Amino acid sequence: MSGALERLEAVLAALDAGSEAVRHVYNRVFTASARAAAAAADARARAGQPLGPLDGRLVSVKDLFDVAGETTTAGSALLRGAPPATRDAPVVQRLRAAGAVLVGHTNMTEFAFSGVGLNPHWGTPGNAHDLACIPGGSSSGAGVSVGRQLAEIAIGSDTGGSVRIPAALNGLVGFKPTQARVPREGAFPLSFTLDTVGPLARSVADAARADSVLAGEAPADLPVRQVRGLRLGVPRGLLFTQADDAVLTAVEQALSALSAAGARVTDEALDDWMGAPFRLQERGTLVAAEAACIHRDWTETRAEAYDPLVLGRIRKGQALDAATYVGIQQARLALQATLDHRLADLDALVLPTVPLLAPRIDALQDEAAFTRTNLLLLRNPSVFNFFDLPALSLPLPVPRPVGLMVVGRRGRDRDRELLALGAAIERLLQPR
């Protein structure tokens, strides 16, 4: 691998050239500080004193994480003129301490409230595999930054799939840990209950390296696991419906390969749990209710500054009464315990990350089409935010990107077991 500064200069040159492929990926680039960090990393490499596996790696951060001296806009017009952050978010501090070269703030859905990735304020980055298609959201620029080799690792947030959706649609690895694993301070919130922080990368190994830094752990190699003997459950039913044929075909091929390699792949009747988040939230969602709280002053005084599609979703949360909100929270805790018991004999669940191939951007200008697509993109990944289970999206070896979601049991990110299982599945499905 060439030096950090050389790799950074190639990225900066590509961004300066301003081709359609790189437009709207970054909301701002930290040119001077990135060059200084890259030069320092190269000096440590020459001296044989690297800070760890992220030293000198080019990392993008979603534009909802505070970076000292930079404005955090959360993809909005409303915050475009806000004062710069006075200090780094904890995850940014940890990245710097690990020697990462922070390239810039990546574009995102306004206030992280959509899985599609469109942004009328900052523009919409085209998908890394097809500029005419959506990038996925809300960490849209994060996915494209890695997919277009404008960063080597991206840091995003995931409330209902916002790391895993762009990973799936751009052919990347995306990891959502359990919520408590990575601190969320210094990140503009969408949902106090469901927000998580995780990486997007080209390999499970890079995602694991980033995860250990974000979690404040000492760097260590992943445990080595084999596919043979894995107990993998397939939650047939709801989460396999309304799916593109190409997605189902790719997932079934992956399941067949896993079975042929010695994994025990079994169909599991889990629809009582998989459908519970939607049944419980028919009158309103936790995300919308908590977003309504976060935005209550601005929606009254600055409504015109919002993307109307985002504003409409926030306002739906204003109608959820307190008793229903508390009831959802209590039911969620009870369901988590029963699902944990149900999954005790499995190593992981495997299913499509999202049921769709990336649709064209111009096909979603109609509000009804946007809403329908957004709900489908969020459906599968959001279930596992609701249950706070760690989940990994792996790219499948097919022409148009399709993600395979691997969902671990509770706590399987603390011991890094889910990432180790993901690495074993990656070796089988994506031999290098």
**How many degrees, rounded to 5, is the angle at CA 249 between CA 152 and CA 349?**
65
DSSP lists the bridge partners of residue 58 as 101
Q: Which of 60, 76, 114, 138 is catalytic?
A: 138
Q: DSSP H helical segments within 318-410, as ranges?
A: 322-342, 367-386
Q: Which of 114, 139, 145, 162 is catalytic?
A: 162
Query: Active-site residue 162, yes or no?
Result: yes
Residue 319 near residue 284 (C-beta atoms within 8 A): yes
CA distance 407 to 175: 10
Q: Which of 33, 62, 176, 393 is catalytic?
A: 62
Query: Active-site residue 316, yes or no?
Result: no
Of 243, 245, 233, 244, the C-alpha closest to 271 is: 233
Q: φ, ψ for residue 194 (rounded to 5)?
A: -120, -15
Residue 125 near residue 147 (C-beta atoms within 8 A): no
| E strands in 163-205 | 173-176, 196-201
Which class for 408: exposed (0-12), middle (13-18), buried (19 or more C-beta within 10 A)? Answer: buried
Segment (H or E) for 205: helix 204-214
CA distance 135 to 117: 6
CA distance 85 to 68: 5
Side chain identity, residue 30: F
CA dihedral 344, 393, 374, 320 (to 10 degrees): 40
Omega cis (within 30) before 138: yes
CA distance 158 to 139: 8
Query: Active-site residue 62, yes or no?
Result: yes
Query: Would you please indicate which residues are annotated as catalytic (active-site) residues?
Result: 62, 138, 162
